[in-house]
Amino acid sequence: MTEFNIDKLVRENIKNLEPYSSARSEFTGEASVFLDANENAFGSPLDENFHRYPDPLQWQLKVDLSKIKGVPPQNIFIGNGSDEVIDLAYRIFCEPGMDNVIICPPTYGMYKVGADINNIEAREVNLTGDFQLDVEGVLSAVDEKTKLLFICSPNNPTGNNMDRMDVEFLLNNFSGIVIIDEAYINYSRQKPFIQELTEYENLIVMHTLSKAWGLAALRLGLGFASEKIIDLFNKVKPPYNINQASQQLGIKALANIAEVNEHIKIIVEQRSLLQQQLSEFDFIKKVYPSDSNFFLVKTDNANKLYQYLLAHQIIVRNRTKEPLCENCIRITIGTPAENETLIKTLKNYA
């Protein structure tokens, strides 16, 4: 097992950073008159206490998340979408123009974009032909400047889980930070890696409220990690990165877990039905297995099929330019009515 030392990974300027001290971080108790934050004391036209700055650490939302996720609140970071978690990881651990990270295409595009924005080399180690991790390839690409390894499971755009033993092997043998993106874990039978936080100091797990919880518009991304890593994220993030409306609506949504679970059940059922129906079309060459709320299909001509569906006001994602995804379309599971419309439309495709 590779020895992990977080102090060797954190950038020196981040270690020495004196974070911004906001009014709401200096005082968090009860008071009748607040004259400390230069707020508009007369309120707002919305009359929802939006004239006050929000809790910079989103503590109530974290407490409610803790009850659902089984992770202590102090091990949770809430970002403005998972993209903020990705960006902060680059800014905390990667020295621009010097360090590198490893990504495993085809995968979520923001890992590479985040590297480019932060002037970090992204070393690409493609997945294998069956969309699994090339473990030897990953470890061969590592050097003393490799700080992050991104693993998406279930993977976007392929939809499948990564082999758990491969992921655990990399966690034990990679000296940097392993970031496991589990945005679609609610649709999978695989055990989430948030249950392994106490076992791996070098682990960051990302979840989101955009998918199964249906809160894409609120931009609530979640990072789970050791307290040391969460403290670094809180140190570097903007003071009020999650607005009050998103916090309030997030708390409200978390109280409706039964509805969310019912939607997950329907989506998983529709996934199986839609995959079976699509496999009956001659122009569909392969329907890949999926552990998410979408799946990848290989067709005889992805560009032609995409344009045909577009002409019928059905939008899918053309992934044909991605590695290993030539002539592949990614299809999100819709409502039963939307899925039926898709199948009826495809019956007239020629």
Per-residue pLDDT tens over the stretch 73-89: 999 999 999 999 999 99
Q: Which residues contact 179 (CB under 8 A, 6 or more apart)?
A: 86, 89, 148, 149, 150, 151, 204, 205, 206
6-255 and 258-346, same CATH topology:
no
Query: What is the fold, at CATH topology level, of the domain defined by 258-346?
Result: Aspartate Aminotransferase, domain 1 (3.90.1150)
pLDDT tens per residue across span 148-200: 999 999 999 999 999 999 999 999 999 999 999 999 999 999 999 999 999 99
pTM here is 0.95
Report d(CA 290, CA 296) in Å as an integer: 8
As its CATH architecture, domain 6-255 has 3-Layer(aba) Sandwich (3.40)
Q: In tens digits, what is the pLDDT along the chain, a chain of 350 residues?
A: 567 889 899 999 999 999 998 888 888 788 889 888 999 999 999 878 899 999 999 999 999 999 999 999 999 999 999 999 999 999 999 999 999 999 999 999 999 999 999 999 999 999 999 999 999 999 999 999 999 999 999 999 999 999 999 999 999 999 999 999 999 999 999 999 999 999 999 999 999 999 999 999 999 999 999 999 999 999 999 999 999 999 999 999 999 999 999 999 999 999 999 999 999 999 999 999 999 999 999 999 999 999 999 999 999 999 999 999 999 999 999 999 999 999 999 999 96
Q: Cα 331 to the chain's mean position, in Å?
A: 18
Report d(CA 334, CA 294) in Å as an integer: 9
User: Are the CB atoms for 248 and 220 separated by under 8 Å?
Assistant: no
Domain ranges of the chain: 6-255, 258-346
